[in-house]
Amino acid sequence: MADFVPYGTNKILDMLVYDNNLEVRKAVAKKGYGLDKLVEDSNMHVRIAVAEQGYGLDKLVEDRNSHVRIAVAEQGYGLDRLVNDENEYVCDAVKKYLKDNKYENIDEWKKDNPDKRYHKDDKSRGEER
């Protein structure tokens, strides 16, 4: 995971955050730059790249796109919400995370990960990740 570098600290990268090419924006996200802007990107692939950096998970856990929510589950965030997702592939991603990380069930995960639990009213928590 790249270190988060806030928007406004590099003029060239600032321009690339808003590039028309989604591959450019995705590459910028993978470098950890401008995640505070790219978390709102209209393209799911860019938002997935943001989630893969562990940024904005508290927001992305509610993303309209199931592929983005899968990326959030793969980061181990919000599993208490995603375990009951309407999309079976998101639920499968939660089960895989639990199995891969040696959790017997979601309750065991909740006990060990109070900082990664979903809190609907707290949208600022993921910015420090």
Query: Which of 23-27, 97-101, 113-117, 122-126 has the weakest average pLDDT?
Result: 122-126
Residue 80 lies in a domain: no
Domain that holds residue 49: 1-55
Residue 39 lies in a domain: yes
| Secondary structure string (H, E, C) spanning the chain | CCCCECCCCCHHHHHHHCCCCHHHHHHHHHCCECHHHHCCCCCHHHHHHHHHCCCCHHHHCCCCCHHHHHHHHHCCCCHHHHCCCCCHHHHHHHHHHHHHCCCCCHHHHHHHCHHHCCCCCCCCHHHHC
Q: What is the pTM of this model?
A: 0.84
Go through the chain and tell me how many residues it has: 129
Residue 36 lies in a domain: yes
What average pLDDT does range 97-101 have in this prediction?
97
Residue 86 lies in a domain: no
Residue 49 lies in a domain: yes
Residue 96 lies in a domain: no
Number of domains in the chain: 1
Residue 38 lies in a domain: yes
- Let me know if 73 is exposed, middle or buried by CB neighbors in 10 A (0-12, 13-18, 19+): buried
Check whether 83 has a pLDDT greater than 50.
yes
Residue 40 lies in a domain: yes
